[in-house]
Amino acid sequence: MKRSDRILNEVKLSFPSRSENESFARMAISGFVSQLDPQIDELSDIKTAVSEAVTNCIVHGYKNTLGIVTMTARLLVDNEVYIKITDKGCGIEDIEAAMTPLYTSAPDQDRAGLGFTIMESFMDSLSVKSKPGKGTSVTMRKKLTTRKASDENRRKA
């Protein structure tokens, strides 16, 4: 199967790195993913992971400057969701350190340093690519158990 054959639907959004757009990204991904009829907890996990990724772009990627955050989302066959959040901000010097729980590049801003940990725990896979001075890209995937599939499994039990 070609990659394009796996895509059921796709959306790409770009928005300024303003803090109020974090909630916009949450609502947008919620509406888009709802096409697959996910369970409430799965939808909540996805919204939280997107929120963390977008917040990282705003707080760390652009550090008090205005830039563009881009979110690409795909609904794939077999109820899988693909989400990529990118910025063209300052980039991450040491991705491994940045992904360590409690690490933060903004300790003066009362940041917990759990963004990547939360993304990793709520999604099935997480990939981070970054180049200093060029920006960062966070790719996440999650396979959903749709409510329709859950209802069928309950009826069989």
pLDDT, tens digit, for every residue of 52-85? 999 999 988 998 899 999 999 999 999 999 999 9
> Which of 35-39, 120-124, 150-154 has the weakest average pLDDT?
150-154
First to last CA, the chain: 33
Task: State the burial class of residue 54 (Cβ atoms within 10 Å of its Cβ: 0-12, 13-18, 19+).
Answer: buried
Say whether pLDDT at 103 is over 90.
no
- Degrees to nearest 5, angle at CA 66 with 15 and 135: 80
Say whether pLDDT at 96 is over 50.
yes
What pLDDT was estimated at residue 53? 96
What pLDDT was estimated at residue 116? 86
Percent of the chain with pLDDT strictly greater than 70:
80
Q: Which pLDDT tens digit goes with each residue over 104-123?
A: 655 555 555 567 888 999 99
- Sketch the domain layout of the chain as residue ranges: 3-151
Average pLDDT, rounded, for the chain: 87
* Secondary structure element (H or E) that encloses residue 57, with its range: none
pTM across the whole model: 0.85
Mean pLDDT of 132-145: 96
What pLDDT was estimated at residue 154? 45
- CATH class of the domain whose range is 3-151: alpha beta
State the Cα–Cα distance between residues 153 and 88, nearest whole angstrom.
44
Q: In this structure, are strands 125-131 and 7-16 parallel, antiparallel, or unpaired?
A: unpaired
What pLDDT was estimated at residue 70? 98
Shortest CA distance to 59 belongs to which of 100, 24, 14, 92? 92
State the Cα–Cα distance between residues 11 and 72, nearest whole angstrom.
6
Mean pLDDT of 127-143: 97
Q: CB of 15 within 8 A of CB of 24? A: yes
Could you tell me where the beta strands, DSSP code E, fall in the chain? 7-16, 68-76, 80-87, 125-131, 135-143
Mean pLDDT of 138-145: 96
**90, two tokens:** 């300052």
Q: In this structure, are strands 68-76 and 125-131 parallel, antiparallel, or unpaired?
A: unpaired
Q: Which residues are catalytic?
A: 52, 56, 111
Shortest CA distance to 104 belongs to which of 92, 112, 95? 112
Which one-letter amino acid corresponds to residue 8?
L
